[in-house]
Amino acid sequence: MYYKTSYTAPIGSLTLVSDGQNLVSILFERSARPSPILQNDLILQDGLPVFDLTRNWLDRYFSRQRPKTSELPLLFTGSEFQQTVWQILQTIPYGEVMSYGEIAKTVAQKFGKVRMSAQAVGGAVGHNPIPIVIPCHRVVGANGSLTGYGGGIMTKVRLLELEGTDLSNMFLPKKN
């Protein structure tokens, strides 16, 4: 059983989802990719302690404080590969970015491989169930392209600006 509540953020409305003990998902109001969690019935439940913790965490984040991911009880399910990528995302420092290729090199090392596909990493990043807390917005293309984000590219830009990230060498991808 999953529970939900809403959170009004400077970037729009977010839905917080919990299994009753852990935060399992953050959903953007206008998501570029529907979440599999939406296939479940979500029961509105505002008073869960995990929601209070998450609201406090998000309030501090949007106030330019630097709350740590470890402050929240998180539960995310995915393949070993996805979970490895999500663990790496949590190591990207506030206000900094890492490329898909850099993450692919780290994943390859962890799995004892010579190479790993940056596209495969992009797929795992795109399936991150807990955006903002697990900072997938800090991942960019090797050339500085601000590619893909479940909450939309402009949300990604706003989050990076909020963190004081130097965007001078980055650009929005051109539409086809």
| Residues carrying an active site annotation | 136
Under 8 Å CB-to-CB from 73, ≥6 apart: which residues?
A: 21, 22, 23, 50, 53
Buried b (16+ CB within 10 A) or exposed e, 145-156: bbbbbbbbbebb
Residue closest to 171 by CA, chosen among 111, 97, 113:
97
Q: What angle in degrees, to the nearest 10, is found between the helix axes of 118-126 and 80-89?
A: 80
Q: Tell me the β-bridge partners of 7.
A: 14
Specify whether the CB–CB gap between 2 and 40 falls below 8 A.
yes
Which pair of structure tokens corresponds to residue 2?
Answer: 């999953």
Residue labelled with tokens 């998180």: 74
